[in-house]
Each structure stands twice: as structure tokens, then as C-alpha cells.
Structure 1
């Protein structure tokens, strides 16, 4: 796998390069601003871009804008965005442009090397990864009548795992319940959110993310 990293902190940038290398992943470019990211994508045609949201010069949303520009340059480019804080607007905008092959993680998740590398590989393979804290905040603010409020605590938990791209088997293992119980919770979630049945796990995740990201 070939990755481009865009992160203005030299320390974190080099740390990401080292983490990816230890996981057998090749970083073909590591840059410090959005313009350099777009140029690196044009030059190297990577399998994934790992991008910080806030980058020079204003340290607001340059990283996200550059990620969207890179995806416009190379449609379908997998992008994993890293953020210091839960920034709903940016997460929603990224998801709203197409939920396939995108991820949004808080930087603190990088400390869990196994989870971070798993997220990198999942996004590069076309999956979706959304930080659990982002899911919680989106759910707490998103309103569609009283649909979201009607979800039980366990249904919210299951929905969070679905947004991370977890399979029914993985969710069951995390929660210590049967797959049948997970399927029942998922059925309840989609019923309450007014989403039609979709037998494919990936499509169910995309439906949830599209719902959360819709404004």
C-alpha cells in the first residue's frame, strides 16, 4: 500500500511515517500543507491519503479542503482525516461527499497502533471508519422528528460500531452477545430511522452515514 501524509506537525508527521512503516505500509510523500498534498496525489497516485483537518496558513479547514480537492483530482481516492477535536461540520461535509473509502478519526486514536493500522487498511480497501466520539456527537445533534431520540442505548452502541465498518460478527464479539441479537438491534435501528432493508453490511453502513451526514 502506498500512502501520502499531510500533517503540519513535523513530529506527528514523522511519527505517522514510522507507524505505517512498522505496519508494512509505504509512505510515498509526507507534506506539511494542503497544496503540497494535492501535488503529491497528482504525482504519486497513492492508495490512501492521511490528512490533518487544520493546516497552514489559517489552521482552520485547509486540510479538509485539500482532501476534497485531491478526491476531485482522483475520484474515489481513499482519505483518512485526522482531527484534534470532534468537528461535526467537517465530519459531516466529508461524509456528505460520499461515504465510501473515507475515515474521520481523532488524533488520540493513533496511540492505539493496532486500531489505527486497521483503520488505515479498512479505508484504503474502500470501507468507512468514523470515530466513536464523532458518531456520538452526530447522533446527539441530528434530529429527524424523534427518530434518533427513540434509539435505545444499545442501538446507539450498535450503530456506532456499524459506522466504524464492523461486521455483525465483530459487533457481537465486542458486545458479548449473539449475532442474532445484533441483527435484531440493526433491524430496530433501521426501522426507527425509516431506512429500507439492505442485506449488504457495507451498504447498511453507508446508509447510516448518509443519514447522519444529510442536512
Structure 2
């Protein structure tokens, strides 16, 4: 799996490079600023981009801008953005194109190596990996919306889907049976009008609908 990394902190950049190479990823480029990231993405796109939101020269949202522009040129290009804290506006922008293959992870969670690697693989396969703190802050201030038909339990299940948990992991987190979780997931799909024949990955589409709408309430 070919990876491009953009991170201005040399120690973290080198750490991510060594971590991923040690687990079978091919790090084709590891850069420290927005200009170098743009150059790294100018040719054939990698399988996934991992970038800090804030990069030199301005340390504002340069990493996110380059990544979202790359996704416009290559729809669905998997992108994981890293941030030191939750920035709801940036999370909403990342989700705005409606495609899967997105992740928003807080840097202090990258220390859980196994979970970080799982998140990268999940996003590369077209799924989502949204940090639970990001989900919590988006959902906490959401307005009434098309998701209002969901029960509180169904919203809990959908929020955990946004983190990238599968049904077994959701069942363990909520102390439910997998059969009960499967029923809740089915109800979410039905209420969001996502039948089995619906194009695209229903799980990802449900998550994106959830997070985009929640972000509008912030």
C-alpha cells in the first residue's frame, strides 16, 4: 500500500514513516510542508494520504487544502488528517464531498499503534476513521435534521460506526448482542433510505450523512 505522509514535526514524521514501513506499507514520500505535499501528489496518486491539517508556510489549514484538492482531482482518494485538537469546521470540510475514505484522528491517539494502523487500513479501503472526540463534539451540538427519526440507541450505533467500529466492536462497547446491533444498523439504513440496492457502501454513506448533518449544527 503506497502512502504519502505530510507532517512538519520531524520526529513525528520519521516516527510515522518507520511505523508504517514496519507494518508493510510503502511510504513513497514523507514531507514537511504544503508545497512538498502538492508536488508529491502531482503524479500518480498514492493509495492513501496522511497529513497534518496545519503545515508550513502559514500553519493554518494548508495540509487540509492540498488533500481536499487532491480528492477533487481523484474522487475518493483516501485521506487521513491529523490534528492536535478537534477543529469542527475542518472536519466538516473534509466530509463535504460525500465520498468515503476519510479519517480525522487526534495526534495524541496515534500512540495506540495497533489502532492507528487499523484506522489507516480502514480508510484506505474506503471506510471512515473519525476520532471519537470529534464525533462527540459534532453530535453534541447538532440541530434537528433528517436523522431525527433515529432513536437515541440508533444514534449511538451510528456514532460508533463513524469511529470505524464493526458490529462486534459496537456490541462490546454498548454491551449488546451482535444480533441487537445488526437490528439497529438495519433500522439506520431503512430510516436514512439506504436500501441494499443503493449505490456505494451503505455503512459509509450513513456515517457521512450523520457527520455532515451534525457538523452543520456547530
Q: TM class, shorter-chain normalised? A: 0.7 to 0.9
4+ aligned runs moved over 4 Å, structure 1: 145-151, 187-191
Give 1:25 deviation, angstroms.
0.9
1:162 and 2:161 correspond: yes
RMSD: 2.5
The answer for the alignment partner of 2:180 in structure 1 is: 181
Note the alpha carbon deviations across 1:98-124, whole angstroms, 9 max, x for none.
Answer: 231111111112100000000111111
The answer for the alignment partner of 1:10 in structure 2 is: 10
Which whole-Å CA distance do the structure 2 matches of 1:213 and 1:47 have between them? 24
> What are the within-5 Å matches in structure 2 for residues 38-57 of structure 1?
38-43=38-43, 45-57=45-57
Contact 1:37 1:70 in 2 (8 A): no
Which runs of no fewer than 5 residues in structure 2 stay unpaired?
none
Note the alpha carbon deviations across 1:3-54, whole angstroms, 9 max, x for none.
Answer: 0001111111011001101211111101111121121012453111001001
Which whole-Å CA distance do the structure 1 matches of 2:151 and 2:189 have between them? 10
Give 1:91 deviation, angstroms.
0.5
Note the alpha carbon deviations across 1:161-205, whole angstroms, 9 max, x for none.
Answer: 2112333233224434212211343356567xx522444894133
Which runs of no fewer than 5 residues in structure 1 stay unpaired?
none
Which whole-Å CA distance do the structure 1 matches of 2:88 and 2:104 have between them? 10
**TM-score (normalised: structure 1):** 0.87
Cα distance, 1:197–1:89 mapped onto 2, change above 3 Å? same
**TM-score (normalised: structure 2):** 0.86
